[in-house]
Amino acid sequence: MQYTVFIRKAPDGFYIASCPLIPEAHAQGKTYEECVANIKEVLELCLEFRRERGEEIPEEIGTKQVTVAI
């Protein structure tokens, strides 16, 4: 399965990742690559936990960037 994750750089220099479709999935890393590896592991654990509990496994159907005026 594929999920969209958002990665940002924190003021302390760490990278922080989250997945909007799996709200409990968050990770960080000292490097971008470490952060990506960590969020992948977290997503796998979250999905395994959901399966064990018989909970829904969300499926992403797409993403779209939109422009808004501010």
The 10s digit of each residue's pLDDT in 36-55 is: 999 999 999 999 999 999 99
8 A C-beta contact, residue 25 and residue 43? yes
Residues of the chain with pLDDT under 50: none
The count of domains in the chain is 1
Domain of 47 in residue numbering reads as 1-70
- How high does pLDDT run on average in the chain? 96
pTM score over 0.85: yes
8 A C-beta contact, residue 33 and residue 27? no
**Helix residue spans in 1-70 (DSSP H):** 32-52
**Amino acid code (one letter) for 19:** C
pLDDT at position 55 is 95
What is the CATH classification number for the domain harbouring 13?
3.30.160.250
Quote the tokens at residue 21: 């479709």
